[in-house]
Chains A and B, each alone.
Chain A
């Protein structure tokens, strides 16, 4: 990689950082589409500033962008409220109109000026290393400098005002009653988004900023439940998106901005599938394990009841287990391995260890039956099935409470409730 390449990668990273951090709050406040609207709506401001200052200069654009962002929110809010236009429709209306205005204004840019219409959509990050300015004697690309400043500013704001942001995201009304103006935070957030979008304009263009705003935050949402962790994870994911995107672009000879968005999407899907706690695969696996546990407990319960009634019902004769033969086989195997049951003269028996587990299951079942009999109006013959289903979920503390509630030692059918 040439030094130019390093600058490009750094610019990409410096773009992803503030976007992903701010994006967490957008996503949590369900303002992702508003963010999308803002990134479109700042275009006229950018073109105007470009035409006026003659270059892709910085400070007036940032200020103008912040204003444009707030204007978008205010305008679409006004149309929604006074025109009684649907929220999504007013957003779409405002941002497409402003974007159209921006594209038309692009046409006024004299051919001599270097603002290719395409770059609006996907930036010109490849050209970044060639537009440098001097910082402490070093030649630094302007875009990287701008983004660096924006990054530091955004990170500082988020760190300093973290608890205000958190409470406003969670419960804006509560925040207002506590003296934290939800409206101020709301508009400050939008202004920051607009500013970041403008600063990122050169790196990833107008439209792909939205991916950097939303994708790392959504990915982080799938990995953690705490806001602080989410912001940090989003930042890391954003950096990853930038690096991977850059590498892919170099390998496939394609656009860095485009590849960053693609990388962001792929990483999101991967995490959504594989995330241990919230991912799809994890959920499927957990559910399968649950079914297995239920089968095991059913086996234990049946064996216990067998010994009570001194019957010799084999597993396969028990009605509830008959339908899940393969699962039951697996359950029996696991229980044998765990030393909970043993197989002698062709029949299954509970071991000492197994007896303890079985007792707990049946105890839960019968305590729940007693509870239902007392507190709901289900007839006697309707008590068994619900308890069959619930017995697997009764935790130890719940069992304690049920025992206290039930008081007596026999279930409604007259069978003894096993001791703890």
Chain B
């Protein structure tokens, strides 16, 4: 493990004291601070469990990939952590605190599809929205916010498109604008839902560069990722999901054939059958 420069992380060579970031009962992770602690999380969609008793601790200052087959609940996991879907059971803490306490430090890049890209705003407008979290009610973004927004656009290579109406951007450019918006949030931890989906190679490289820069600055990035080929190249840590947690840990250790088979293979159809039985019987207890 490489040594970190920040004072509150303990080196692995020292005997481990209980790290204040760890919640009681969670399995300690070798003196690494835990960014996200997900405890026995269950989420149901139309009465059928989509995520089932997921229990995982995600360390900070990593690039973390969430992988799994379609319908495995990857997007749902992120949405559950961010409070966008209700939890049927379990709880989540971020840096040891509830979501409401750490909101200002959480960034989000949602999927591109759920937004109407014909909306009458330009790229700068969208990135400025990332500053809204810090402004509070009614106040308008000021010069400082504008500067931060332009910086974010520049860091994704979109500075010259700041005034471009978003419907005139290509898919990759739209994704970069979304990323810039999250960067403008100046968060400590970023959640991204399929950031690489449907983008051209240049954009993909830009996004990877930005993510690496974030990690080197000590931020944590958790991204739903669909391309198994690039998991090893882009990410340090991986969470393998198929309705339940199959495996989680450093990519080198955990991203193995064996685990891939367990995640994508047919063994877990029994899980699906049980979920279906639950749904038919009346659903997960609200």
Interfacial residues, chain A to chain B (CB-CB below 8 A):
84, 286-287, 290-291, 368, 371-372, 375-379, 382, 385-386, 389-390, 392-395, 398, 401-402, 405
Contact = CB atoms under 8 A, between A and B. Distances in A.
Interface in B207-265: 244-248, 262
B40 interface: yes
B277 interface: yes
Nearest to A294: B285
A5 to B, nearest CB: 48
A378 B245 contact: yes
A390 B247 contact: no
B268 A385 contact: no
A377 B244 CA distance: 9
Given A287-B282, A290-B282, A393-B281, A84 B40 contact: no
A386 B282 CA distance: 17
B274 interface: yes
B270 A378 contact: no
Interface of B: 27, 40, 52-53, 55, 89, 118, 244-248, 262, 267-268, 270-271, 273-274, 277-278, 281-283, 285
Contacts of A376: 244-246
Contact of B246 (A371, A377, A395): A377
Contacts of B267: 375
Contact of B285 (A286, A371, A389, A395): A389
Contacts of A393: 274, 277-278, 281
Most chain B beta carbons < 10 A, residue from A84, A371, A393: A393
Contacts of A402: 270
B40 A385 contact: yes
Contacts of A368: 274
12 contacts: A371-B270, A372-B244, A375-B268, A376-B246, A385-B40, A386-B52, A389-B89, A393-B274, A398-B277, A401-B270, A401-B273, A405-B270
B274 A398 contact: yes
Contact of A382 (B55, B246, B248): B55
A390 B27 CA distance: 24
Contacts of A398: 270, 273-274, 277
B180 to A, nearest CB: 25
B251 to A, nearest CB: 15
A379 B27 contact: yes
A386 B55 CA distance: 11
B282 A286 contact: yes
B40 A394 contact: no
Contact of B40 (A286, A291, A382): A382
Nearest to B259: A377
A395 B244 CA distance: 20
Nearest to B286: A287
A381 B53 CA distance: 13
Contacts of B55: 378-379, 382
Nearest to A392: B281
Chain A CB within 10 Å, residue with most, of B245, B246, B274? B274
A290 B281 contact: yes
B118 A84 contact: yes
A390 B262 contact: no
B277 A375 contact: no
A390 B278 contact: yes
Contact of A386 (B53, B247, B273, B277): B53
Question: Which of A375, A377, A392 gathers the greatest number of chain B CB atoms within 10 Å?
Answer: A377
Nearest to B27: A379
A385 B53 contact: yes
A394 B27 contact: no
A377 B246 CA distance: 5
A246 B58 CA distance: 66
Contacts of A375: 244, 246, 262, 267-268, 271
A377 B53 CA distance: 11
B41 to A, nearest CB: 11
A226 B271 CA distance: 29
A382 B282 contact: no
Q: With a 10 A CB-CB cut-off, give which of B55, B118, B245 has the most chain A CB atoms.
A: B55
Nearest to A387: B53
Nearest to B243: A376
A35 B278 CA distance: 38
Nearest to A364: B274
Contacts of B247: 377
Nearest to B52: A386
B91 to A, nearest CB: 13
A386 B41 CA distance: 10
B215 to A, nearest CB: 25
A389 B247 CA distance: 22
B73 to A, nearest CB: 13
A375 B246 CA distance: 7
A29 to B, nearest CB: 21
B40 A386 contact: yes
Complex A-B, nearest 6 residue pairs according to Cβ-Cβ distance, in ascending order: A386-B53, A376-B244, A290-B282, A393-B278, A393-B277, A377-B247
B277 A378 contact: no
Given A287-B282, A375-B267, A401-B270, 17 more contacts: A290-B281, A290-B282, A291-B285, A371-B270, A372-B244, A375-B262, A378-B55, A382-B40, A382-B53, A385-B40, A386-B40, A390-B278, A393-B277, A393-B278, A394-B277, A395-B277, A402-B270
A378 B248 CA distance: 11
A57 to B, nearest CB: 45
Contacts of B281: 290, 392-393
Given A376-B246, A378-B55, A385-B53, A390 B274 contact: yes
Contacts of A379: 27, 55
A407 to B, nearest CB: 13
B30 to A, nearest CB: 16
